[in-house]
Chains A and B, each alone.
Chain A
Amino acid sequence: MPNLIERQRHIIDFTLSSLLRRKGKNCALLLVYTLIVFILASVLFFTHALKREAALLLNEAPEIIVQRTLAGRYQTIPIAWSDRILKINGVISVRPRLWGYHFDSAFKANYTLTVPAGNPPQQGSIDIGSGISMMRGANRGDIIAFTGHDGIPRSFKIRNILEHESQLLANDLILLSEEDYRDFTGIPADQATDLALRVRNSREYGIIAEKITRIYPDTRPIVRTEILRTYDALFGWRSGLLIVIFSAAILAFVIFAWEKATGLSAEERREIGILKAVGWETSDILLMKFWEGTVISLTAFLVGIILAYLHVFFTSSALFAPVLKGWSTLYPAFPLTPFLDLGQVATLFFLTVVPYTITTIVPSWRAATIDPDAVMR
């Protein structure tokens, strides 16, 4: 057993020195390889992190949301409508929700206003997300002012800075009391933004939605599974777009790697011939080639993954955030919650390292089985 390890060690030693002998070519290969892994891993990490943020967001989403439309456009909904909706079998509770967006022209940012279901701030005080706190330089206990719907600024005392598992959710959030919300937005007292329904049995979603539209034909019930599908399609589509853009780069790499891996240069064939003449066996040469492929692809893989991780979670995907996020450029910058999925890393590994290693072995095996003197002549 120690013998076996010793043998591998010597072969790796030889492989490394032989790689160093062709420094320029191997460095170029390593660089391109790393770049490809970096791009692929960045796309994977980024879309996955976004999907995860969305899933966290939807965890707390109600099963059915009822919106009212007027001439096909979104409209506030009368709170009184919740009584009849609550009578529908399977609806456990109906909660009128008050929320909306606010554009802060001074800071060029969009905020999300919400009246929370539990523990709302007192009139005159608000909770704000960490993103707003950072941008406005406001901390707990400070007074902060926002311009209301009528152009008159209103000042609030900051009760809390919100920290949340999902950055996307809490970053731009302002929690305020119902009185403040109505005063700030101008929504009348008998209206709500939408109605949030709790339904225990997911089999009833369709039937309940149907009954609601029958009672109130100008409403639009939105089922949670639909939201999930939309998010998935959106992020899937965006990551697909990015992959298409970079597929040219991937193709170039594939050609490069193929050329490098399959067609052995005359020099390499000579090297194999000499090694065989010196007394190496075919299996030794294959082992050497295997280690050569492993060293290059594993290094590229690890470096690429680490760079992608830093890129996505520490620089907020500076390179392609405009393509992937894109739903609102006004959105305050938000760092994604670092998250590493082993399944993803494994997928990437089997898509890059394994095929590369295999493609390097096959041609060497062909070269190694030829008579050494035919190769060297």
Chain B
Amino acid sequence: MNNKSLKIVLIFIAAFIVGTSPAFADNLKPQKAGPRDKCPVCGMFVAKYPDFAAQIQFQDGSIFHFDGAKDMFKYYLNLPRYAPGKKPADISALFVTNYYDLTLLDGLTAYYVSGSDVYGPMGRELIPFVREAEARDFLKDHKGKSIIRFSDVTPALLRALD
């Protein structure tokens, strides 16, 4: 094997490792909730409410489904209680459901509207959107209170929603 072809093989191997590594969130795909998947926060079956579903994927390959962004945040902000031994850094991806087209989108970059008149299976919800313009329109149409980002969500805010 000459030097050039060895290089090509090495590049392919590297590409393969990068492509399958869980450390690269871009390559992670949202998984559909199965009929037996329960929300770890409230215990409800998630598959019945696909319009609000959210999920957290860990680097060890485990996936947790939630029946709304609110419960996902409760879980995320209280990992010691719901997932002892896991740290926020172990999370490989977060997905929430876009209100308008019901596709799953990255929870970290989403815009959330709180205080609207749209209720999820667990009551008042944080409604996720891809674009800020959508969130602003929704806020106007559905009497929302504010648009927040992922880092703005606090336990106090979640308590206010309940």
Contact = CB atoms under 8 A, between A and B. Distances in A.
A344 to B, nearest CB: 27
A323 interface: no
A201 interface: yes
Interface in B111-162: 118, 134, 137-138, 141-142
Contacts of B142: 207
Contacts of B138: 89
Interface in A182-209: 200-201, 203-204, 207
Contacts, number: 22
A204 B102 CA distance: 12
Nearest to A91: B100
A200 B141 contact: no
B134 A201 contact: no
A90 interface: yes
A319 interface: no
Contacts of B141: 207
B99 interface: yes
Contact of A89 (B51, B100, B118): B100
Contacts of A203: 51, 118
A92 B118 contact: no
Given A201-B51, A203-B118, A89 B102 contact: no
Interface residues of B, number: 11
Nearest to A208: B141
Contacts of A89: 100, 134, 137-138
A200 B101 contact: yes
Nearest to B101: A200
Nearest to B135: A89
Interface string B92-111: 00000001111000000000
B100 A200 contact: yes
Interface string A63-106: 00000000000000000000000000110100000000000000
Contacts of B100: 89-90, 200-201, 204
Contacts of B118: 203
A203 B138 CA distance: 12
B137 A201 contact: no
A90 B129 CA distance: 11
Contacts of A90: 99-101
A276 B43 CA distance: 64
A89 B100 CA distance: 7
Nearest to B141: A207
Interface in A144-188: none
9 contacts: A89-B138, A90-B101, A200-B102, A201-B99, A201-B101, A201-B102, A203-B51, A203-B118, A204-B99
Interface of A: 89-90, 92, 200-201, 203-204, 207
Interface of B: 51, 99-102, 118, 134, 137-138, 141-142
Given A92-B101, A204-B100, 4 more contacts: A200-B101, A201-B99, A203-B118, A204-B99
